[in-house]
Amino acid sequence: MSENKLALSGKVAKAITPDMVGLFFEDINFAADGGLYAELIENRSFEAVKSKGENHNYVLKEDNLYAWSSTEDIEDNLEITFNQPVSEANPHYLRFTAQEPGQGFANKAYDGVSLKKGMTYRLSFYAREVNYPKGVIRAAVTKDGKTFASVDVAFRNATKRPAEWMDTIRVTCDTLEWNFYEATLTADADVSGGRFELHLTEAGSVEFDLISLIPSDAVAGVFRKDLFQALADLHPAFLRFPGGCIVEGTSIMRRYQWKKTVGPLVNRKINTSLWAVQGGNTIGQWEMQDCHYMQSYGIGFYEYFLLCELLSSEMRRCKPVPVLNIGVACQFRSYETVPVDSPEFQEYVQDALDLIEFANGPITSKWGKLRADMGHPEPFNMDMLAIGNEQWESGAVDLAPRYRAFEKAIHERYPEMKCLGTAGPFIQHPLHTAAWQFYHDEAKKNKDFAWAVDEHYYVAPQWLYDNVAMYDDYPRDIYVFSGEYAAHDANLSNSVEGAVAEAAMMTGMERNGDLVRLASYAPLFNRIGHSQWTPDLIWFDAEKVVLTPSWYVQKIFSDYAGTEALDLDGQEKALRESKLYVSAVKNGGKRILKIVNGADEEQTLSLADEAGAPLSTAAVLVTLAAASGEAKYVVATDAVNTVVGNKVLGPGIMSNLEVCLKRAPEDVRLKEDKTWISGSVEVPAKSVVVVVY
Ligand code: AHR
């Protein structure tokens, strides 16, 4: 093998963005409910629906008591009713009847409640009396007959009885007024997999709705602390939200509507999740795991904007990038579209304009006032909007007139807003090229038509190596937003092999940082045992967070970004022959060289300074490699052999947890050493090395 060498130059090739690396958030794999949203109670508003079906053929069934049960296994003391609810947006609630003092009901709380000794948890619920003249509400977390936390909540009896009207017709319903209750549970000891319970200390009947339990350390009272930290540590430059296919929904009716996710929690209309029907939940089977996956919108658009602020760091601001539905249901799941010439379509366009007002408008405006009422009078300073998630011009979807209508309306009113287009789901497809051509053609007439175009690629590691240089040749009239990408190895696992290929690709993005302005790995989260898609950036369960090799790659490119790309004079092409991928940038007085070794053996890279002498300098050397010292060789396992596309398995074959175990993230080590470079660096097999000097 010939010598691998690189002559380093201080010559600036081009200005690049130091703010390329951001986050893609979608409520898939229990990323929001049961994930980043710190709520511990599952189906807290009794609105659960179970879903089954497959492409273009979905059916739903109400299952309002899902996740709830009687603590005494008594049938019929839990009933669902819907007369004069707390909110008509979520009309169902629980009527609980204790036939004897002390009876109660429990919530399964995803994989059970985990408490930490000494930690406090904020309990809240709505309740109203049916018939409960004396007694309190007792809340507890228990396991195997042992209580780990409990609190008695004084009950407020009804003051108003329902009016009787007319002589002949009595008002027969029992309902009285709702009261809101709050209390604190303190954990006496650690517990995993506990059960949340509410009991009536006397016989009687009480109605309950929106029963919530949130750890007091939740960031802003909303975000699970450890998962939030895993995001914050990446110093993201932007957050793309809320998806993903979820923006589109399995049908127009069940699409993501941002207006239904803001304002008081109780009024946020709970929706099914299109991800409830992923994972082998085919038409013949009702009781699939996670078929009750819903969207509570506890993290709604206000919280997403807030999250951006909270994720902003000294290193950089995290900018909001909302994605809008453009009048289409998910093209993989439905043929529904709203005709562009219909009045209904105008409502979609209006939603976009109203969103800008919600994010940025004065508090005297309708939507700016709502933002202020929710606690944020200052604008969120949104300057980007993605028009459509993954649409392109096809037999099923007419992207062009939709994009045009949105762009025109937005720019007429907000000329400074950056509109982001979409090039569809598959980068290797001719429709991808056609989509780009559409934007290029329009840009000739209107340079602001699309600030950037969002392209998605879930591809084999080898594809990334083969296409490392693809951005070298992209036209420079419109920026690139690599809005969803990931290496999919043979087992769809979070391997070092996949992550190193992503790093190689990112050297290409970084070298073209004048063009690739935004890039986000996807998907972001995976609740172990509840995933619909792997690989993902961050895995977690009720108690722990597992950072994947891909997470470390993102961190490296975020934390060691630069403002200028240094000239490599084409040398990167020769190095690719040895499976070495490089990029060199400058940030302030520092130069940063990133080297990715995609080969199976360690390689030496000789480095020369500008005078042609062996580089001799103090440096910080950051190395990311498999913790075992050798990246595993990824082969397809059963978990892959029995899937179709990216679907997990049917129930008889393998549980979601088993699938997750087979695809579990490989351990990596990120090492940082102060060292002296004397003319070369050793780059371990399948690793990423950063030299800061
Ligand atoms: O990231 C998972 C899915 O991949 C997204 O929802 C969608 O945009 C893409 O097809």
Distance 100 CA to ligand 1 centre (A): 50
pLDDT at 645 over 50: no
Q: In what order do the strands lie in the sheet with 238-241?
A: 23-24, 238-241, 319-324, 384-387, 418-422, 452-459, 479-487, 516-521
- Closest ligand 1 atom, CA of 247? 6
- Is 297 within a domain? yes
Give me the domain span that covers residue 191: 49-215
Sheet holding 12-15, edge to edge: 12-15, 564-566, 580-587, 590-597, 687-692, 616-626, 668-678
The more confident residue out of 332 and 168 is 332
Q: What is the DSSP letter of 37?
A: B
Residue 523's pLDDT is: 98
Quote the tokens at residue 385: 């909007």
Residue 531: φ, ψ to 5°: -105, 145
Looking at the structure, do residues 85 and 178 belong to the same domain, yes or no? yes
- Whether residue 282 is predicted with pLDDT greater than 60 in this model: the reply is no
Is a pLDDT exceeding 50 seen at residue 444? yes
Tell me which of 135-144, 153-162, 211-220, 581-590 is least confident.
153-162
Mean of per-residue pLDDT scores for the chain? 94
pLDDT at 650 over 50: no
Q: Per DSSP, what are the bridge partners of residue 481?
A: 454, 518
Q: In terms of domains, do 351 and 491 share one?
A: yes
| Last residue within a domain, chosen from 522, 538, 561 | 561
* Span from the CA of 278 to the centroid of ligand 1 (angstroms): 12
Q: 559-576: per-residue pLDDT in tens?
A: 999 999 999 999 999 999
User: Who wins on pLDDT, 412 or 662?
Assistant: 412
- Say yes or no to pLDDT of 649 above 50: no
Quickly tell me which residue has 């923006």 as its tokens.
Answer: 247
**pLDDT tens-digit series, residues 97-119:** 999 999 999 999 999 999 999 99
Residue 166 pLDDT: 52
pLDDT of residue 641 exceeding 90: no
Whole-number pLDDT of residue 643: 47
Mind listing the pLDDT tens digit for each residue in 9-44?
999 999 999 999 999 999 999 999 999 999 999 999
Residue with the smallest CA separation from ligand 1 atom 3 is 244
Burial (CB < 10 A; 0-12, 13-18, 19+), residue 313, is middle
Give the residue, by CA position, lying nearest to ligand 1 atom 8. 244
Domain identity same for 322 and 378: yes
DSSP letter assigned to residue 500:
H
pLDDT of residue 639: 72
CATH number of the domain encompassing residue 475: 3.20.20.80
- What is the band of 656 on the pLDDT scale with cuts at 50, 70, 90? confident
Within a domain: residue 635? Answer: no
What is the rounded average pLDDT of the residues 617-627? 98
Query: Cβ distance 158 to 129 under 8 Å?
Result: yes
Is-catalytic flag, 390? Answer: yes
Q: Which residue has the tokens 């108690």?
A: 543
User: What count of Cα atoms within 13 Å lies in the side-chain half-sphere of residue 210?
Assistant: 26
| pLDDT tens readout for residues 369-426 | 999 999 999 999 999 999 999 999 888 889 999 999 999 999 999 999 999 999 999 9
Coil, strand, or helix at residue 395?
coil
- Is 489 part of a structural domain of the chain? yes
Share of the chain above pLDDT 70, in %: 94
What's the CA gap between 453 and 483, in Å, rounded?
9
- Span 143-151, average pLDDT: 97
Give the number of other Cβ atoms within 10 Å of residue 16's Cβ: 25
**What one-letter code names the amino acid at 198?**
L
Domain final residue pick, 561, 586, 617:
561
**Residue 296 — very low, low, confident or very high, per pLDDT cuts 50/70/90?**
very high
| Token duo for residue 641 | 């052999």
Better pLDDT: 2 or 241: 241
For range 460-468, the mean pLDDT: 98
Which of the four pLDDT bands, split at 50, 70 and 90, describes residue 285?
low
Has residue 581 been placed in a domain?
Answer: no
pLDDT at residue 287, as a whole number: 66
Q: What is the DSSP string of 171-234?
A: --------EEEEEEEE-SS-EEEEEEEEEESSSEEEEEEEEEEEETTSBTTTB-HHHHHHHHTT
Q: How far is CA 440 from CA 187, 206, 418, 435, in A?
A: 59, 62, 16, 9
Which of 391, 422, 432, 484 has most ligand 1 atoms within 8 Å of its beta carbon, as the pocket-test mutant? 484
Mean pLDDT over residues 470-478, rounded?
97
Residue tagged active-site, from 26, 336, 357, 390: 390
Q: Verify that 270 and 353 share a domain, yes or no.
A: yes
Pull the structure tokens for residue 339. Answer: 């005709």
More confident of the two residues 283 and 538 = 538
Same domain (yes/no): 244, 274: yes
Distance of CA 31 from the midpoint of ligand 1 (Å): 13
Which residues contact residue 44 at a Cβ distance below 8 angstroms, ignoring those fewer than 6 apart?
107, 210, 211, 212, 296
Identify whether 523 is preceded by a cis peptide bond (ω within 30 of 0).
Answer: yes
Whether residue 627 is contained in a domain is answered as: no
Regarding whether 246 and 208 lie in a shared domain, the answer is no
Same domain, 153 and 281: no
Range with the poorest average pLDDT among 307-321, 503-517, 624-638: 624-638
- Tens digit of each residue's pLDDT (9 = 90 or more) over 53-65: 877 788 899 999 9
Output the pLDDT for position 651: 44
| 535 shares a domain with 443 | yes
Q: CATH number for the domain including 211?
A: 2.60.120.260
Residue 676 one-letter amino acid: W
C-alpha to C-alpha distance for 47 and 62, rounded to whole angstroms = 8
Give me the mean pLDDT over the 542-546 stretch: 98
For residue 138, give the 3-state DSSP assignment.
strand
The reported pLDDT for the residue numbered 1 is 53
Closest CA to 101 of 204, 26, 251: 204
pLDDT of the residue at 644: 41
Distance 105 CA to ligand 1 centre (A): 37
Q: What is the mean pLDDT of residues 327-348?
A: 94
The reply to whether 128 falls in a domain is yes
Residue pair 174/83 in contact (Cβ under 8 Å)? The answer is no
Q: Is the pTM of this model over 0.75?
A: yes
Q: How much is the pLDDT for 431?
A: 95
How many folded domains does the chain comprise? 2
Q: Ligand 1 pocket: which residues have CB below 6 Å? A: 26, 28, 243-245, 389-390, 425, 456, 484, 522-523, 533
Structure tokens at 362: 């004065």
Which of 507, 531, 561 terminates a domain? The answer is 561
Q: How far apart are CA 483 and CA 427, in angstroms?
A: 12
pLDDT over threshold 90, residue 603: yes
Q: Which atom of ligand 1 is nearest to the CA of 484?
A: 1
446 and 531 in a single domain? The answer is: yes
Closest approach atom of ligand 1 to CA 246: 6
Question: 292 alpha carbon to ligand 1 midpoint, in Å?
Answer: 20
Q: Which of 23, 26, 328 to mutate to test the pocket of ligand 1 (most atoms within 8 A of CB)?
A: 26
Q: Assess if residue 406 is contained within a domain.
A: yes
Task: State what percent of residues in the chain have pLDDT above 90.
Answer: 86
Q: What is the pLDDT of residue 640?
A: 66
Asked if pLDDT for residue 642 goes beyond 70, the answer is no
Examine the domain organization and report whether 34 and 59 are in the same domain.
no
- Average pLDDT on 660-685 reads 97
Structural contact between residues 265 and 587, judged by C-beta atoms closer than 8 angstroms? no
Q: What is the mean pLDDT of residues 235-248?
A: 97
| pLDDT of the residue at 167 | 54
- Domain membership of residue 614 (yes or no) is no
Ligand 1 centroid – CA 248 distance (Å): 11
pLDDT at residue 161, as a whole number: 65
Q: Are residues 209 and 246 in the same domain?
A: no
What's the pLDDT tens digit per position in 174-198?
557 899 999 999 999 999 999 999 9
Locate the ligand 1 atom nearest the alpha carbon of residue 456 and give its number.
Answer: 9
The residue nearest atom 5 of ligand 1, judged by CA position, is 244
Q: Are residues 58 and 33 in the same domain?
A: no
